[in-house]
Chain A
């Protein structure tokens, strides 16, 4: 379609999303989806009230009483390991008059006491103390009925804690579906599994949350231009064909996807991301299948998104322009804050039983390349806020952006040993189209 054939949008949310659905079939979407108040409100209602959303890693709260504050959209939860070692998430609102009962981001406590009137809850959520219970309530308040409100659903996969506001939602395993197979590539490299180091970096980006999810789900294409500075310094692949030596995989209907890139022929990149020998030995022993080992052997750069807003990056990269690359792993959450505004939470993850020297170097590599000050991610943030700024214009409602890469020219790779729909190179936007397909479906279009 040419510009003049564009459907006549009245500019309303309903028209815009119906047109988006019609256009996505041809690999096009209106740019306004990245900055629209009405779409944002609908995303909060239809996606973030009905999705499994990542809350954090169980190693962030390793001891009984450890807690952390985490959000699903505007809802604050105290994610806590109780005295029986059960991980719970309590809605952070006192049952009496609604005060936040916990105001520190992390800590350890057996109880939470509301600073307003002193109602006190055990870390399993039970209401155990009411000041002047006898004098004020005549000992008649039924404490059992007024415990903290639990998150409607909480489930853990391989140490990754997810919550949902929807009590009727399918199980986390079903939600993840075949994406679990790929999550295992990152989480099952050792007996001890992953641990989160320190705390997530947090920062505000005046950009839409979907831009982060879109970038990680399938976009190896941007590396050469967005990160050209790092190509020039030798920290990113110089070969413009590099993503040809990869695989582009999505889980149809679920919105999840990832790209997995290895070494071009005749370029001697180390197998298994360049992990140290003992870690390679460990992953060979621990991975759940032979196919995991076979795929991992040729991997150097992996990016992915778990719908809606959790992304994973596992790449080997230099910590400066002088040192050889080190593998690093990061999880990140694109938290919706407002139309065209998100907060990023970015965790550095590493195998708990990795050698100390490796943990140290891998952490430095992460801090210097991704996260708040990272020499890669600082350019991504600049791009995403630029897109978001342009998306406010009326022409961004009437015209379309192009998501057609690989639509006509790619054939499904039937030899790929993993699940999902795979294409035999990572220059494609099938993952992005699958992401927005799920997005529109959840929005009701």
Chain B
């Protein structure tokens, strides 16, 4: 994909700030606040990936996902975490969303396309073991009111078999 229309420096800085803010919400367990940075018509997907020869591209599988979410289902996931019985994340994982390689393209006055790399560190319980997930996020952000919100997110993971016991964390 050719790099189209680079956003102006101020927009770029705003978007970098936004992504770092969003990561802090996820890593601090502020999921209710996180719902405020997604749009009503959000589309959040993590496609399945298989190993294929180079000529067949990146190996993303049509019609199957690890996550295929809209606003209602993301809210359900947050409501679940607000119960006292969400065992998969209570006690919570320690996570760190390391967001880098941010590129921002202007789509129109209201929308930007944002590419970023993500390295997610996760550890649980007293064990010294930890897991990593690595991937590229392709987001479409929309200007709403004073700030930006996530209208679309696709997370392209750098693995076929997921090296952790569940995806009880958002990417």
Interface residues of A (CB under 8 A from B): 103-107, 197-199, 201-207, 225-226, 228-230, 232-233, 235, 319-323, 343, 348, 363-364, 367-368, 371-373, 375, 377-379, 381-383, 385, 389
Contact = CB atoms under 8 A, between A and B. Distances in A.
| Residue of A107, A230, A375 most packed against chain B (CB within 10 A) | A375
Nearest to B131: A204
A348 B127 CA distance: 33
Contacts of B83: 228-229, 232-233
Contacts of B51: 103-105
Given A105-B50, A229-B80, A233-B80, A204 B165 contact: yes
Contact of B72 (A201, A229, A320, A381): A320
Contact of A381 (B73, B80, B88, B161): B88
B68 interface: yes
A363 B63 CA distance: 9
A375 B64 contact: no
A199 B164 contact: no
Contact of A203 (B46, B50, B80, B162): B162
B66 A199 contact: no
B13 interface: no
B64 A202 contact: no
Contact of B77 (A375, A379, A383): A375
Nearest to B74: A320
Contact of B76 (A107, A202, A204, A375): A375
B67 interface: yes
A373 B67 contact: yes
Nearest to B68: A367
Given A232-B83, A382-B88, A321 B75 contact: yes
Given A104-B51, A229-B80, A375-B80, A204 B164 contact: yes
Interface of A is mostly: mixed
8 contacts: A104-B53, A107-B52, A198-B64, A204-B162, A229-B85, A322-B72, A363-B64, A375-B80
B76 A320 contact: yes
Given A205-B165, A320-B75, A348 B64 contact: yes
A368 B66 CA distance: 9
Contact of A372 (B53, B75, B77, B167): B167
A225 B160 CA distance: 32
A228 B80 CA distance: 10
B87 interface: yes
B80 A372 contact: no
A368 B68 contact: yes
B4 interface: no
A364 B63 CA distance: 10
Contacts of A371: 66
A408 B139 CA distance: 58
B64 A197 contact: yes
| Residue of A207, A364, A379 most packed against chain B (CB within 10 A) | A379
Given A229-B86, A321-B76, A343 B161 contact: yes
Interface in B9-64: 46, 48, 50-53, 56, 59, 61-64
A57 to B, nearest CB: 13
B76 A367 contact: no
Contact of B63 (A197, A225, A375): A197
B65 interface: yes
Contact of A106 (B52, B63, B75, B88): B52
A323 B72 contact: yes
Contacts of B160: 105, 202
Given A322-B72, A367-B67, 16 more contacts: A104-B53, A105-B50, A107-B53, A107-B56, A198-B61, A199-B50, A199-B61, A204-B162, A204-B164, A225-B85, A233-B80, A321-B76, A323-B72, A348-B64, A378-B89, A379-B86
B168 interface: yes
Contact of A383 (B63, B70, B86, B87): B87
Contact of A105 (B52, B65, B70, B75): B52
Given A203-B161, A204-B165, A106 B79 contact: no
Contacts of A232: 83, 85
B17 to A, nearest CB: 28
Nearest to B47: A198
B52 A199 contact: no
Contact of B165 (A197, A203, A235): A203
B96 to A, nearest CB: 19
B105 interface: no
A385 B72 contact: no
Report, nearest first, the 10 A-B pairs whose CB atoms are least far apart.
Answer: A198-B64, A228-B85, A203-B162, A373-B167, A378-B166, A202-B161, A378-B88, A378-B168, A105-B50, A320-B72
A382 B127 CA distance: 14
Given A372-B66, A382-B166, A201 B48 contact: yes
Contacts of A206: 165
Given A199-B50, A320-B73, A379 B68 contact: no
A261 B168 CA distance: 28
B73 A368 contact: yes
Contacts of A229: 80, 83, 85-87
